[in-house]
Amino acid sequence: MCDLNRLRKFLGLPGPERWLLVRALALLTVVRFGLWLLPFSTVHRLLSKLMGDDDAGGQRELPVERRIWAVRTASRCFPPASCLTQALAAQVLLASAGIGACVQIGVSKVKSEALEAHAWLEKDGEILLGGSEADKRYARLFSFAAERGNF
């Protein structure tokens, strides 16, 4: 739940960052409910249609790190934001600025012999979201890249 201190911090942000945070929260909401209600392939197609231009509100100039920050920050106000939800939302925010990134999905066997799945976001081999050791702990099952107009 977002409290009064978070609201004050939000209002103290520059306009482009406030708008980015709102977009991140909206994307997290759309992705989360989409994943609950629809097949993954349908969610993926819908996200490509939701992708817009970042020119609104001066967002175009915001670096990759601030876009990832927006997803991480917004996910704290939206508890069911799983690793896959966050990776997809961040991928859309980056792609809408023409920045390609790749969602990786992998599995790892845990002590109880059960499989544990995880999703993370990479750009040029660097993990942007999902843990700095994700690529070492999880065996990749598949990945998909996105760039604006080719999500």
Task: Tell me the pLDDT of the chain averaged across its residues.
Answer: 83
- Cα(148)–Cα(51) distance, integer angstroms: 8
| Token pair of 33 as six digits | 């409910």
| Token pair of 111 as six digits | 């002590």
What are the phi and psi torsion angles at 84 (to 5°)? -70, -40
pLDDT confidence band for 54 (50 / 70 / 90): low
| Token pair of 97 as six digits | 């600025």
| Token pair of 56 as six digits | 């609104």
Q: Region 87-105: what's the mean pLDDT?
A: 91
- The size of the chain, in residues, is 151
Sign of CA dihedral 54, 58, 61, 62: negative
Question: For residue 7, how many other CB atoms are within 10 A of its CB?
Answer: 10
Question: For residue 14, how many other CB atoms are within 10 A of its CB?
Answer: 11
| Token pair of 149 as six digits | 């107009």
Under a CB-based contact definition with an 8 Å cutoff, are residues 80 and 32 in contact? yes
Which carries the bigger pLDDT value, residue 55 or residue 107?
107
pLDDT confidence band for 52 (50 / 70 / 90): low
